[in-house]
Structures are given as structure tokens and as C-alpha cells.
Structure 1
Amino acid sequence: MTNIIETSPLFELRADISVNATPEEVYAVVSDLPRSAEWSPECMGGEWISGAPSAVGSIFRGENLRSEQVVAWAPLVRGTWYTEARVTAAEPGRTFRWMMLTHAQEDQESVWGFDVAADGSGSVLTHHFRMGKATAGIHKIVADLDEAGRRKFVDDWTAKLVQDLDATLSRIKDVIEKA
């Protein structure tokens, strides 16, 4: 039996929503990562620690919060923790992406992003996440699990990510359309 954690990509998910705003208006919101607390199930905001805000190469330090109920059986980080990410794509009105970094600020194959496309008088916003190779954090979570436990974690985490992508898009739509 193969080790599911060695699968690449480990996660590759996307979700879409229609938003009653121009691609430029949508992009202006989703590329403003310090506002993440307004829509993210886990990111409570943060700050740019290097580079110009929202520019390729800039680094964002996010403050995150995870409850005890999220995949409750797994040995996850709970409460508040911090992450750093580097912007890898920033094309106003089109795409905004960031790559998660290790504590040593090395790239990980963990990329989040938004794509925006015109659709009639509004836009379609796509939120996506791709993890190629498992990060050090994933390896730590599954270190003491057998293969059945690893598969359960990947299945449960995938379900959590699907919910998070959908919740994020719904909240962004509300933020933009109620502005």
C-alpha cells in the first residue's frame, strides 16, 4: 500500500462564486490580505512584513485561529498560530496568489489564490488551493498515524478545505456586495 502523504498533489481544490462587482473591484478586496479576518474561517488578518502590500515577492505574516472542533481527532495546532507567505502572482483584475513559507522562509508547495474573470456585468471569483508535496506541518500531523489514519486525515482535511473555500467565497461576496 502506498503512503498517501507521498501523493502529489496531496490537495488540489477550487470553488467559484458569482459576484456583483467588476474584476478590478473584486481583486482590490481579495488582494488585501490584512482584511482576511472579514472572510477567512482561520486567518484573523495580519500584516505585510516585507515588500509593498500585495506585490509579487512581498511577505505577509498571518495570524490564524483554529478551534478544537476542526478535525477534532487529529493532532493539529489549536488556538492561535502564525504563518508567513510570499506573493507569487499579482495581476489586478485577474489573479492573486501566495505561497506558504517554512519558518526559515523557504518555499513550500502550498499555494493559495484567487482568480477573477468578467461575467456579464459582474465577475466569477475562483478560490483555489494546491499542495504538491506535503508540508513539514502535514508530516508532523500524520507522523504517529498508520496508513488508515493518514488516509482518514487527508479525507477529513479535504472536506474541511472544501467547506473553507466555499465559506470564504460566500463571505467575500457579502463583503463586496454590501459595500
Structure 2
Amino acid sequence: MSKTLEASIDVAAPPEKVWAVVSDLKRMGEWSPQCRKMKVFGGDVRKGTTTLNINRKGFLVWPTTAKVIEFAPNKSIAFRIVENKMIWSYTLTPTASGTTVVEKREAPNGTSAISRFLIDKALGGTEQLDVELVDGMNKTLQRIKAASEHG
């Protein structure tokens, strides 16, 4: 089973403003260093929405698909990657000065055999990838912070 990865940041903006940024999955390519694009199907994002994602690491480019499994406006959004069963989520908590945003990657039911093989053979192994993903989460959150506070 893959371990849970997590990063958080404090944003000097109310949850409603941060939510407008976080829940706009079409803009994920602006925030994430690995997920370069998310194409949202079916109009507005809500529980059940599906996406096609284009991911990149160096010269490697690969598609994935996702389904939104949690959607609580101004509070949380989560989507499951179909191919590897990973769940990515963003949780917003109001604070006295704005909002704390937590990004997580979880695999409560483990991951697929093909995903484990590709992580080992093409993405540098689990330990290296986990470090890169947490670094990417921190970059993503910095970009979400900047867009929420100044955008």
C-alpha cells in the first residue's frame, strides 16, 4: 500500500476565493508541475465529473483519467485516478487570517500492479517519486496561494 502524502499552506484569502481556484480543475496545469492539463467532461465540476489528464515528468508524458468523488463547495474536493486508484484531495479550513489548504494523495485500497511496475521502471521508484510528489504538492500550493491572494 502506498503511504499518504500531504502538504499544506496558509492563504491570506477567504475559503470562497480559494475554492474558486482549487475547484477549477481545468486550471490544474497552471498549478501542478506534473499534471500538465485536465480536460473536464460534462460542464461544471461536481461529484461524478470525469477528467482526462495529461501528466509529464521530464521526457515522459502519459494520460490518466479521474472521477470527482467528493465535492463540498468551499470545503473539499477529491478525485480518484482510475488507472492507479490514487485519491488526490484539497481540503480548505477557514482561519483567522484566511484559509489553510491541505493537499493529499492517498491510496486507501492500494494501487494497481501496472502502476507499481511503471513507478519502479519509469519513474525512479516509490521513494524517489514520493519525494518528487511532495515537492510538487508544495509548488502546487504556492501557485494556488498566489492565484488566490493576487489573482
Q: Normalized against structure 2, the TM-score is what?
A: 0.88
Distance 2:130 2:114 in 1: 15
**Which secondary structure does the structure 1 equivalent of 2:4 belong to?**
strand
Identity percentage over the alignment?
27
Q: Which residue of 1 aligns with 2:97?
A: 121
Q: Which residue of 2 aligns with 1:157?
A: 129
Distance 1:56 1:92 in 2: 11
Q: 2:72 aligns with which of 76, 91, 97?
A: 91
Q: Which residue of 2 aligns with 1:32?
A: 24
Runs of 4+ more than 6 Å apart: none
Which residues of structure 2 form unaligned runs of 5+? none
Q: Normalized against structure 1, the TM-score is what?
A: 0.75
* Cα pair distance change 1:41/1:142, threshold 3 Å: closer
**Which secondary structure does the structure 2 equivalent of 1:168 belong to?**
helix
**Which secondary structure does the structure 2 equivalent of 1:109 belong to?**
coil
Alignment of 1:16-31 (within 5 A): 16-31=8-23
Q: Which residue of 1 aligns with 2:47?
A: 56
Matched-pair contact (CA < 8 Å) for 2:11–2:149:
yes
Aligned-pair distance for 1:88?
0.5
How many corresponding residue pairs? 148
**Considering only CA atoms, is the larger Rg found in Structure 1 or Structure 2?**
1
Distance 1:101 1:142 in 2: 16
Which residues of structure 1 form unaligned runs of 5+? 1-7, 69-77, 103-107, 145-151
Distance 2:114 2:16 in 1: 35
